Amino acid sequence: MSALEVLSVVSEVYPLVKTGGLADVAGALPGALAQEGVTVRTLVPGYPAVKAALEKPKVVTKIGDLFGGPAKVLAGRAAGLDLFVIDAAHLYDRPGNPYHDGDGVDWPDNPFRFAALAKVAAQIGIEGAAGFRPQVVHTHDWQTGLTAAYLEYDGRKRPGTVATIHNLAFQGQYPKDLLPALHLPDHAWGVDGVEYYDTIGFLKAGLRMSDRVTTVSPTYAAEIRSGEGGMGLSGLLSGRAGVVSGILNGIDIDVWNPAIDPLIAAHFDAASPSSRRPNKTALQRRMGLRIDSKAMVFGVVSRLSWQKGLDMVLEGIETILASGGQLALLGSGDRDLVDGFRRAAAAHPGRVACVIGYDESLAHLVQAGADVLMVPSRFEPCGLTQLCALRYGAIPLVTRVGGLADTIIDANEMALDAGTGTGVVFTPPHVDMFRAAVQRAAALHEDQSIWRRLMKNAMRTDVSWARSASRYAALYRDLVAERGG
Ligand code: ADP
């Protein structure tokens, strides 16, 4: 099989810049695709952290005016990835979060910051750069949605395009009078172009104009074709059902490997789950929970938002405590949830603990030390934390939506008999059902032989990228063949 070259275009990439699962995927997929004979280069904005990490950068292109200032495209390696980086101080040289300022207010020039990413992607797609000529340009989420539009309107021969939806809730909509400033032609304004409910829709453009659309689980691929799950795009996605598919995410099993993880207190694997115990003590100590090996620790590592359903955890906290459990929560996000969990921790010292913030190392310890990892999302395109939980033997307690439904097998009696259960799955996402799920988890935990079996099943689940990387490779090859090689 001949090598295939793909340009991945993304607004964050682990470990250089990360606000969520998107970065994890962008960071891990290139390595997995290399095993499939696919060479990936990743184009990212030159945020300060990216530029600082770039080894031996070379200037491959100079752009006189990229939406208000000069820019260079640099090529180099960082963190094991082959990168193209857009060095444009006026767009990306600012501290903190890639999307907003320290108060959570979106950078006002975001339409230009991400149009620039798409514009450079299209230029590399058509002209190549540093000897690299991608046959496929693979874009991720709304920030890169205009890529397909710039490629299409350029008029020259273009590579195939794939748009992946990591979260349909973020769509990137901007006023229509920006059309000329974004270098989009007048005829882009229409249902087959960028027009979306009388605004310019970045994600919409990508989903309308890319050759293939994927999302990160088969169930989410089905959900987004329905009215509610489609968040305004169900009609478009149903109309394009023939080119929409779901490919599950994996996790980087070298970063998430409990047998060697430097961020946890004791190493273990599926053959030695009892070696996991010191992590629970370490977690209880680190979070200020009462040190008690018998107390069941319910963990959370999450953005605190409506999507993630953590209001159910707050409302159902008494059920966790009534079953003798403890809550260990790591998260950041919405003010009312932050306040709620802080109040709960103050009301139940030693039994409820929360760390508000982003902490990579504590995230690993929660996965290694908690008995249960809760992801009660209202919708979840794929979800990565439940995959980490499987690998670390924290039994996932999840809603039956999106990728959670596709990755966790409910430990009902039949599944236990068949030796396949890996978690506790509930539906619908309502606090009463959440409470019942907590009680079910506690009942399962009481029988330690059943619990050990669950942990082994969970830890033996293949959560690597191998299966899904071969699906992406097949999709790319199919697309290249369709477009005449
Ligand atoms: P989403 O991308 O919707 O936030 P995912 O489950 O797909 O959710 O990915 C979340 C990623 O971010 C996981 O790698 C998870 O471990 C990490 N994460 C989320 N919140 C925190 C936090 N407060 N501290 C450290 N890591 C976090």
Return per-residue pLDDT of the chain as tens, 485 residues: 568 999 999 999 999 999 999 999 999 999 999 999 999 999 999 999 999 999 999 999 999 999 999 999 999 999 999 999 999 999 999 988 999 999 889 999 999 999 999 999 999 999 999 999 999 999 999 999 999 999 999 999 999 999 999 999 999 999 999 999 999 999 999 999 999 999 999 999 999 999 999 999 999 999 999 878 999 999 999 999 999 999 999 999 999 999 999 999 999 999 998 899 999 999 999 999 999 999 999 999 999 999 999 999 999 999 999 999 999 999 999 999 999 999 999 999 999 999 999 999 999 999 999 999 999 999 999 999 999 999 999 999 999 999 999 999 999 999 999 999 999 999 999 999 999 999 999 999 999 999 999 999 999 999 999 999 999 999 999 999 999 87
The atom number, within ligand 1, closest to the CA of 363 reads 25
Instruction: Tell whether 92 is covered by a domain.
Output: yes
Q: 17, 220, 302: which to mutate for ligand 1, most atoms within 8 A of CB?
A: 302
- Residue with CA at minimum distance from ligand 1 atom 18: 302
Q: Report yes or no on 378 lying in a domain.
A: yes
Q: What is the CATH number of the domain that holds 129?
A: 3.40.50.2000
60 shares its domain with 139: yes
Question: Which residue, by CA, sits nearest to atom 19 of ligand 1?
Answer: 302
Which is the closest atom of ligand 1 to the Cα of 331?
A: 23
One domain, residues 55 and 101: yes
Nearest-5° angle of CA 306, CA 230, CA 137?
A: 105
The answer on 197 and 50 residing in a single domain is yes
Closest-CA residue, ligand 1 atom 14, reads 21
**pLDDT computed for residue 411 by the predictor:** 98
82 and 121, same domain (yes or no): yes
**Residue nearest (by alpha carbon) to ligand 1 atom 26:** 360
**Could you tell which of 385, 392, 404, 468 is best to mutate to test the pocket of ligand 1, judged by most ligand atoms within 8 Å of the CB?**
385
- Say if residue 404 is in the same domain as residue 475: no
Same-domain pairing of 89 and 148 = yes
- pTM of the full predicted structure? 0.95
Non-local (6+) Cβ contacts of 159 within 8 A are: 7, 125, 126, 134, 135, 136, 137, 151, 483
If asked whether residues 390 and 286 sit together in one domain, one would say: yes
CA of 155 to the centre of ligand 1 (A): 40
119 lies in some domain:
yes
Amino acid at 155: G
- In this structure, is residue 211 part of a structural domain? yes
- Do 306 and 226 have their domain in common? no
Specify if 256 maps to a domain: no
Gap from CA of 331 to ligand 1 centroid (Å): 8
Tokens of 470: 């071969």
DSSP 191-256: TTTTEETTEEEHHHHHHHHSSEEEES-HHHHHHTTSTTTTTT-HHHHHHTGGGEEE------TTTS
The minimum-distance atom of ligand 1 relative to the CA of 302 is 20
Q: Residue 23 Cα, ligand 1 centroid: separation in angstroms?
A: 10
Helix axes 360-369, 277-287, angle to 10 degrees: 130
Residue 122 inside a domain? The answer is: yes
446 with 323: CB under 8 angstroms?
no
Nearest residue (CA) to ligand 1, atom 22: 358
CA of 377 to the centre of ligand 1 (A): 13
Partners of residue 161 on adjacent β-strands = 137
Please give the tally of structural domains in the chain.
2
Q: How far is the CA of 20 from the centre of ligand 1 (A)?
A: 5
For ligand 1, atom 15, name the residue with the nearest CA.
Answer: 385
Longest dimension (CA), the chain: 68
In eight-state DSSP terms, residue 74 is: E
Q: How many residues does the chain have?
A: 485
Which ligand 1 atom lies nearest to the CA of residue 382? 7
* Cα 379 to middle of ligand 1, angstroms: 15
In a domain, 264, yes or no: no
What residue numbers bound the domain in which 217 lies? Answer: 4-250+466-482
Residues 194, 313 share a domain: no
Distance from Cα 279 to the centre of ligand 1, integer Å: 20
CA of 362 to the centre of ligand 1 (A): 12
* CA–CA separation, 386 and 397 (whole Å): 8
Ligand 1 atom with the shortest distance to the CA of 308: 3
Classify residue 263: in a domain, yes or no. no
What is the 181 CA–ligand 1 centroid distance (Å)? 35
Supply the residue whose CA is at minimum distance from atom 16 of ligand 1: 385
Sequence-separated (6 or more) residues with CB below 8 Å from residue 98: 11, 12, 17, 19, 45, 47
Nearest alpha-carbon partner for 10 in 39, 53, 59, 45:
45
Nearest-atom index, ligand 1, CA of 357: 23
- What ranges make up the beta strands (E) of 112-193? 136-140, 160-165, 173-175
Residues lining ligand 1, CB < 6 A? Answer: 20-21, 24, 301-303, 330-332, 358-360, 363, 383-385
Same domain, 142 and 209: yes
